[in-house]
Structure 1
Amino acid sequence: MKEAQSPKNKKKVIRTAALSGSLYVLLEDQLRFLNQYYDILAIGSDSDNYFIERLKQREGVRSKEINIERKISIVKDLVSLYRLYILFRKEKPFMVHSITPKAGLLTMIAGYFARVPARVHTFTGLIFPTQTGMMKTILIFFDKLICRFATNLYPEGNGVKNDLLAYKITKKPLKVIANGNVNGIDLVKFNKTLFTTTENQLLRKKIGVSEKDVVLLYIGRLVNDKGVNELAQAFTKISASHNHVKLVMVGSDKGETDLLPEDTWNIINTNDAIHYVGHQNDVRPYLAMSDIFVFPSYREGFPNVVLEAGAMGLPAIVTDINGSNEIIENNINGIIIPSKDTQALLNAMQLCIKNPEFLIKLSKCARDKITSRFDRNFVWTEILDEYRLIERNLSKNNI
């Protein structure tokens, strides 16, 4: 571990996201780690200061609310840009580092005009590849602007990097830190041995699943882009012929605009083999009691939930998209299928259900594939090394 800096010697780093909740959830404990070496200030939208206060308590960092709209809102965006500019001029950080699209756009522009030496953006996922028409053109333009005003660019994974290159978003260097993912995985916390067989059976019983059932688990937002329609349709066919197979769904559509159609909600609410438990603050008990993780998303940056499932020893059925296909090796620790393909999803689920030995083989490899590449201590150290490299390069250039 690197030697921490004394408070007097710490340089300032401002971390931004559109929502302070994103910093709280996506960067759990990372800001505390970095705060040993840099004076970290966390910035994001948080109207009631709920996450602002929790960031201060858990991470031990300074935190401030500045509204950053997730959607395009010209007047509000200009106000946010001005507020960021004033803050940067006052704080004089050596680095600003953003992790979400709108925060990236405003942070990089404000940082440029405030003369912040290092302007760093991490692309945690790209929206434009799945868009069409004018919206796609606008989103590409915004990502090009981010790159124009940034000094350092970090795609969260190689899939994101390849998309940035394919669409010619920038000619600047693109570097994936560690093996991808913004925070890595806490292998102590996400460990199936923390949960006893009795605890697993009690949870199953509580939600209406028997000890002998094969449990498929979905965790994520209940929206179209997560492949929930295909999952509901495929599982309807599975449950019709396999009464010992159950689907547990963890998540919510609260605050979403990409709402599921009524037909899909009818399937979820009326199929007795589907157990919808809503949002859960701690998903580990559900991972521990399940047999197969299913995540048929259309697009991702580098999905934490697939890492968490693997760390808990669950093989995963995922779509061939950025991030998921960098975590899962086909027929090694899971199965990779085309996105938006209900039949392929059905076939993959049937393969696992009908071949217990194959499922056991996948399960045995699941945790090892995560521990060898995504331990969060390794990811944090790589991020710190990158910060220090940026700092050294600035010193060489007398900036």
Structure 2
Amino acid sequence: MTSLAIVSHHAVDLLRFRGSLIRDLAVSGVRVRCLAPDYDASTRAALAALGAEPVDYRLQRTGMNPVRDLAAIAGLVRILRRLAPDVVFAFSTKPMVYGTLAAWLAGVPRRVAMVEGAGYVFTSSGGRPGWRRRALRFAVEALYRVALGRAHRVVFLNPDDRREFIERGLAASAKSVLLGGIGVDLQAWRVAPPVTEPMSFLLVGRLLREKGIVEYAAAARRVKARHPQVRFILLGGLDSNPGGLDRPQVQAWVDEGLLEWPGHVPVQPWMARASVFVLPSYREGVPLSTQEAMAMGRPVITTDVPGCRETVQDGLNGYLVPARDADALAGAMLRFVDDPGRVVSMGSASRRLAEICFDVRKINQKLTAWLLA
């Protein structure tokens, strides 16, 4: 029996982003162990129900502390030596770097790393980055170079990230492959009846500046000045990432009447009540939330940046706008407010594109071949 260890930074992310892959691997006879630093009883039970074995390890998700990080790598080495998997699959920045290095040190025969997005240090801040950000980028690039050099395969979600990593010498072209999105379960995320009254825009994501949330609030202010009945919904929790927004800022938008903020809640019920999905991000891998919106037949407004542009054919299933441009974002929103019929026609196009490009069954087959080859 082939044994595979998946290294993650969040137990819930294993369920949300890797659940179907874990289930498919387990059904095919692969022994799957899932490493995460924050299991609770419910996530353990959910992983077990998929056919996987939850395994605890220690990791501080954000920040760089050499002592803690070396301890995390050492702990992973001990765990992987004990588990002795045939393959280690690591994703998200810290688990990808530390998990791949630990797998190499532990003598794991096959190591696969997934770059889900270039991340905070590669995302333009809109001006010249400060010395702290430049120093962090230098350190992260050095870690990428060392870790990805010890991977047998490096999986990218969009071509821009793959090209940049190869050009910077962070990943070898011969080892690098393009997945094109992790995919969505088209049976679980079915088309919901279109909503046009009231017109409702929805943004889903961690509360980071890089997600374009500031621009979303500014665009909401512009649209509501003309159409006060339009709803703007924000789903997501606060985040300790350096680009994280604080609670008073988000609450100020709520108090002003611009945004509704239910917090970190299940996405699907809110998506069903939304008219248009919006993600004005500065950079992504290929966002799962947008794939889910497309599967449910929702038009998309997003930015013309790496990762986001892969989800929208401008004018067909939504609109591409420049990053950090609240005026352009508001203009795209007003197209739907002024012509609600676009919600229906563009939503249907989104579903068709999801079926062609983001069917998780097809994507899992491709990823499984790379993992087990």
Percent identical among aligned pairs is 22
Could you state the TM-score of these two structures normalised by the residue count of structure 1? 0.84
Is 1:188 aligned to 2:174, yes or no? no
Counterparts of 1:43-62 in structure 2, within 5 Å, are 43-46=35-38, 48=40, 50-56=42-48, 58-62=49-53
Is 1:129 aligned to 2:122, yes or no? yes
Post-superposition shift, 1:47?
5.8
Which residue does 1:352 correspond to in 2? Answer: 336
Aligned 8 A contact 2:284 2:307 in 1 = yes
Is 1:163 aligned to 2:149, yes or no? no
Which residue does 1:82 correspond to in 2? Answer: 74
Q: Distance in 2 between matches of 1:354 and 1:49?
A: 48
Q: Mean alpha-carbon deviation: is it higher for 330-339 or for 44-53? A: 44-53
Counterparts of 1:69-148 in structure 2, within 5 Å, are 69-70=60-61, 71-127=63-119, 128-130=121-123, 132=129, 133-148=134-149
Which residue does 1:397 correspond to in 2? Answer: none
Residue aligned with 2:286, SS: coil
Q: Mean alpha-carbon deviation: is it higher for 70-79 or for 98-107? A: 70-79
Residue aligned with 2:177, SS: coil
Deviations 1:182-231 (A, max 9, x none): 3x1111111134x7x9xx8xxxxxxxxxx831111122222212111111
Which residue does 1:6 correspond to in 2? Answer: none
Post-superposition shift, 1:141?
1.3
- Residue 377 (structure 1) aligned to one of 361, 364, 372: 361
Deviations 1:261-300 (A, max 9, x none): 65554233222x532222212x222212221111111121
Post-superposition shift, 1:254?
5.5
Q: Distance in 2 between matches of 1:171 and 1:86?
A: 28
Counterparts of 1:194-343 in structure 2, within 5 Å, are 212-253=197-238, 255=240, 258-260=243-245, 262=248, 265-271=251-257, 274-281=259-266, 283-343=267-327
Is 1:366 aligned to 2:350, yes or no? yes
Q: Distance in 1 between matches of 2:249 and 2:102?
A: 45
Runs of 4+ in 1 over 6 A off after TM superposition: none
Deviations 1:89-133 (A, max 9, x none): 222222111011111111211211222111110101112322642
**Distance of aligned partners of 1:104 and 1:259 in 2 relative to their CA distance in 1, 3 Å threshold:** closer
Q: Distance in 2 between matches of 1:192 and 1:387?
A: 32
Q: Distance in 2 between matches of 1:49 and 1:135?
A: 35
Q: Mean alpha-carbon deviation: is it higher for 308-317 or for 219-228? A: 219-228
Unaligned runs of 5+ in 2: none
Query: How many corresponding residue pairs?
Result: 360
Residue aligned with 1:115, SS: coil
Aligned 8 A contact 1:229 1:264 in 2 = no
Residue aligned with 1:116, SS: coil
Q: CA RMSD in A?
A: 2.1
Unaligned runs of 5+ in 1: 1-9, 201-210, 391-399
Write the letter of the residue equivalent to 1:299: R
Post-superposition shift, 1:321?
2.1
Q: Distance in 2 between matches of 1:311 and 1:31?
A: 21
Residue aligned with 1:301, SS: coil
Residue aligned with 2:292, SS: helix
Could you state the TM-score of these two structures normalised by the residue count of structure 2? 0.90
- Residue 16 (structure 2) aligned to one of 22, 25, 35: 25
Q: Distance in 1 between matches of 2:343 and 2:213?
A: 23
Write the letter of the residue equivalent to 2:187: V
Aligned 8 A contact 1:52 1:65 in 2 = no
Q: Distance in 2 between matches of 1:171 and 1:121?
A: 12
Write the letter of the residue equivalent to 1:115: G
Structure number with bigger Rg: 1
Deviations 1:161-200 (A, max 9, x none): 12213433222421013xx223x1111111134x7x9xx8
